Structure 1
């Protein structure tokens, strides 16, 4: 590995770099670059990119927002809030057949997609739905608002007494 030093007429020194040294420099630069790129891609990979959707525990307002004797569908949350006197409950509005959003009907709930019918308690009365509509746990938060927990299914007909 020879480095040739030559004097130029301007008083500076020119270095003639051998082919081997130039290839070693290019190879080293490529290896360092690929190592940096690999490290960056590993850090990007470690960071989760998942969007987890809406929380399964959420507030739906105060009990006064739901007058006695009403059934109010909250389509964005896929639940129906049922209030009977001083009792309140949350029933799913997701059809147990293929996941369509069921609508309120005179006798309970009706699926517009495949014709499943449910009574006011969510029990299947007709159609292809294999199971009744689930009921979700409902609690009263310390601030006085109603909280629904869609991760916890309860026995149909179980109301929260206010």
Structure 2
């Protein structure tokens, strides 16, 4: 039997040592890459996904001006807003002016949906509370608001917000719930942003 050259085949030989180190560092590099990809996978997915997919849009279309008649008050339950098509007489010209408004349908106390605005003699009263104003009533904790969004009673800490409106290029009414406007601002059916009277509820047709 031929003798084995232990020195030639020893793992301590330069060739064997070089191969072993090369293989070790190769596997070490591959393992580090796998760990890095696993650790940043969630962040990478979040980075690649558009932000608009993670946050709901604050703008939405509510219909065309022709979908609303003068005196209309419509609740859009999906968006929890009331749309008004108001009208009033211009004191200088004597002409009837029309304008749209959007008011939040969420009570500013704890976020409950309040009841639609109603005339004073038909709105629910509690504990002897009375008013001669058109108002809305929140059934959760009793807050009440007038047509201008002001708090009349209850624990609500602030008025109801009015949202900015505009016309889209194809003539539809669009609401931007990220922009708050005064209750004396109106959007005309042809898309003009105008000042008008402080709403008092006389613009609502309850019949």
TM bucket, shorter chain: 0.7 to 0.9
- Aligned pairs (5 A) from 1:123-138: 123-138=150-165
- How far residue 26 of structure 1 moved from its aligned partner, in angstroms, is 6.1
Residues in 1 aligned to 2:37 and 2:143: alpha-carbon distance in whole angstroms: 54
Residues in 2 aligned to 1:144 and 1:25: alpha-carbon distance in whole angstroms: 69
Instruction: Structure 2: give runs of 5+ residues left out of the alignment.
Output: 1-6, 11-15, 88-97, 119-133, 190-207
Could you say what secondary structure the match of 2:107 adopts? coil
Matched, 1:77 2:89: no
- How far residue 57 of structure 1 moved from its aligned partner, in angstroms, is 1.3
- Aligned pairs (5 A) from 1:22-101: 25=23, 28-48=26-46, 51-85=53-87, 86-101=98-113
Aligned residues: 150
Q: Which of residues 135, 138, 150 in structure 1 aligns to 2:177?
A: 150
Q: Which of residues 108, 119, 133 in structure 1 aligns to 2:135?
A: 108
Could you say what secondary structure the match of 2:110 adopts? coil
Residues in 2 aligned to 1:118 and 1:70: alpha-carbon distance in whole angstroms: 18
**Closer, same or farther: CA 112–147 of 1 in aligned 2, 3 Å:** same
Q: Which moved more, 1:60-69 or 1:102-111?
A: 102-111
Query: Structure 1 stretches (4+) deviating beyond 4 angstroms?
Result: 21-28
Q: Which residue of 2 aligns with 1:15?
A: none
Bigger proportion of residues as strand: 1
